[in-house]
Structures are given as C-alpha cells and as structure tokens.
Amino acid sequence: MTGLLVDYGGVLTTSIFESFRAFCQAEGVEPDTIPHLLVEDEEALAELHAFEVGRLAEAEFERSFAGRLGVAPERLLERIFAALGPDERMIGAVRAARAAGFPTALVSNSWGMAIYDRPLLTELFDAELISAEVGLRKPDPPIFLLAAERLGLGPAECVMIDDLRPNLAAAEALGMVTVLHRNAEATIAELERLLQIPLGFAGG
C-alpha cells in the first residue's frame, strides 16, 4: 500500500510566491519583499513559525507582519493570498488517487485557516494535518510521522508532494519517496509512474 501526502498552498493551488508578488505590486511594495523578509529577518521567521503552529494569534501576526512590510494590517492575510486559486489538475489527480484506493493525507503549514476549502479537503483526504491544528510544522519530522501514522502506514510506504525542497529533504530522511512540485503536468506524470495508475492529466 502507498499513501499519498500532499502539501496545500502551491501544490493544490496556484503559486504562493506569485500571490506574494501580486500582493506586493498591489500594495506598492518591492516584488520579492515577503520571501526576502522571511530569509533575512530572523524575528519575522520566528513569528511565522509560531503562527503556523498556533502559538501566535492571527491578529497579532497580521499586526507585526504588516509593520515589517510597511502596509496596513487589516485583512492582511486575505490580501496576501487574494491571487491564490485552485489548481484543478492537481485536485483531480489527488481525487483520482484516493478513488483508486490510495490513502491520502494533507500535510500543510498554515498561514491562517481562511485559505483552506474545508469541504474539498474532506473530499480529497483521509487525514488532514494542518500545522496550526496539530501544533507541528514542516520540515520537522513529527508532522510527517503523524501523517503516516494516521494513514496506518510506515514512512517508507508514503509519497510526499511539496513545492519546497527543505520539506522534501526532511521527508526523504524518514524514508519517504518525494516529488518536488513545479507544475501539474510533471507532478502527475511522476505520480502515475510511482502509483502505476492513470490520474487523468490530459493537457489541461
């Protein structure tokens, strides 16, 4: 049996980084401000990590992060992710894998809960591990181990799909097979090879 572990933002949705850039353009901020901030400002990164695992309230995170960006805090996360949309091809692939009998789990670091389509998650996944709800975050090993456990599988029986290499490196260290997501066509082709089933990609 093979379990499928899937990231949310940037895998089942359009690119988070493109949404970051669209937000910055709309707000008059340099296009790569958000990723640069999270690389260069250790306090900002620490606050994000605390927010992701539920140790920092959303309103408090928005006030602090908005101050670092030099923008208004009201509905900050809604504005940051306004350009994010579903990737219907990837959603269809996960739906097809689950219908074919492969156990599925969402493994997602949360920037607030409004980003998630909860009815869709219920349809797609046997288990949902959202960092703010489980108090764990990627790339820390316990969240991957918990996802496998909830599917009743060992780590070596799982495939993890993510758009960030550090998350995949942590999963690989536990024995998981990993797929670095860059676009739906390539990811679905690799999943079809790994799972040995068609997943319905037909060029769009």
Model pTM? 0.94
| 27-79 confidence digits (pLDDT tens) | 999 999 999 999 999 999 999 999 999 999 999 999 999 999 999 999 999 99
Q: Which helix (H) or strand (E) holds 191?
A: helix 184-195
Q: Summarize the confidence of residues 179-192 as an average pLDDT.
A: 97
* 94 vs 113: CA distance, rounded Å: 21
Q: How confident is the model at residue 201 (pLDDT cuts 50, 70, 90)?
A: low
The conformational region for residue 174 under phi > 0 = left, psi -120 to 50 = alpha, else beta, is alpha
* 128 vs 135: CA distance, rounded Å: 13
Ordered domains of the chain (ranges, CATH): 3-15+85-195 (3.40.50.1000), 16-80 (no CATH)
* Long-range contacts at 48-53 (CB < 8 A, ≥ 24 apart): 48/111, 49/137, 51/111, 51/132, 52/109, 52/110, 52/111, 52/131, 52/132, 52/137, 53/131, 53/132, 53/135, 53/136, 53/137
